[in-house]
Amino acid sequence: MKILGLIPARIGSKRIYKKNIALLNDKPLISYTCFCARESKFINRLIVSTDSEEIASAAKKYGAEVPFLRPREISQENSTEFEFLVHALNWFSKYEDYEPDLIVVLYPTSPFRKPESIDRAVEEILKHPEADSLRSVRLCSEHPYKMWTIENGYLKPFIDSENPHLHTFSYQILPKVYIQNASIYITKPSTIRNKKSSIGDIVIPFVMDEIESIDINTPLDFKIAELLLKNELV
């Protein structure tokens, strides 16, 4: 099978300057994902979709291809996952006559995922030919039944329920809720082309632990990742 690893890495980042190539333990953040993908037994091609020559240079150094630069108009803060996937598929179709069977999207902000997890995720979606995609998730530590909005100066439950006291229940008796963790997303070209979506209708879960689910978005996240590496906890 042709299984494409795709690392999306735009240069713009407001909270951490040039986040995707910021040094984490003296290595660019993107290098951790490149190393991980190269160790997967299933991924047989690895590319980085970026709008930056600087990121492209770092990606190539750590074993990824950068066959194109992503257009700036789909590399903005509000650009979508679907846009860069369509761009990559169209580029490969036009210039290489290449169509992968699966696309494994690996965000560079998750430096602690393991190659074995990528492989288990691929095996999982291969067991489910009916699935449009797979999404990695973790158990949610903050339950939506305990969330509120503020309207006219008063708290209002974020989720409407017939039971007005759900927010007082202990976590143990509330239903388990999962949140996607930006670590391993797998989709099919047919899902993108036919359903105009990177997710589709039938999505299978891939549950990961808290360490592998760490997603670096803020300076505090970066400090936590540095401490974990320094204390050899990952």
Topology (CATH level 3) of domain 3-137+179-229: Spore Coat Polysaccharide Biosynthesis Protein SpsA; Chain A (3.90.550)
Which residue ranges make up each domain of the chain?
3-137+179-229, 141-176
Residue 19 binned pLDDT confidence (cut-offs 50, 70, 90) = very high
d(CA 161, CA 168): 13
Tell me the two tokens of residue 121. Answer: 């995720």
d(CA 15, CA 188): 32
Predicted pLDDT at 162: 84
CA 192 to chain centre: 16
Report angle CA 37, 135, 125 to the nearest 5 degrees: 75
pLDDT tens string 183-229: 999 999 999 999 999 999 999 999 999 999 999 999 999 999 999 99
pLDDT tens string 67-93: 999 999 999 989 999 999 999 999 999
d(CA 11, CA 51): 7
User: What 3-state DSSP class applies to 32?
Assistant: helix
Q: What percent of the chain clears pLDDT 90, i.e. is strictly above it?
A: 89
pLDDT tens string 102-131: 999 999 999 999 999 999 999 999 999 999
In the beta sheet, which residues pair with residue 205? 135
Half-sphere exposure of 12 (CA within 13 A, CB side): 11
Predicted pLDDT at 234: 85
pTM of the predicted model as reported, rounded to 2 decimal places: 0.93
Residue 43 predicted with pLDDT over 90:
yes
Maximum CA pair distance of the chain? 58
The values of phi and psi at residue 33, to 5°, are -70, -35
Average pLDDT over the chain reads 95
The values of phi and psi at residue 185, to 5°, are -120, 125
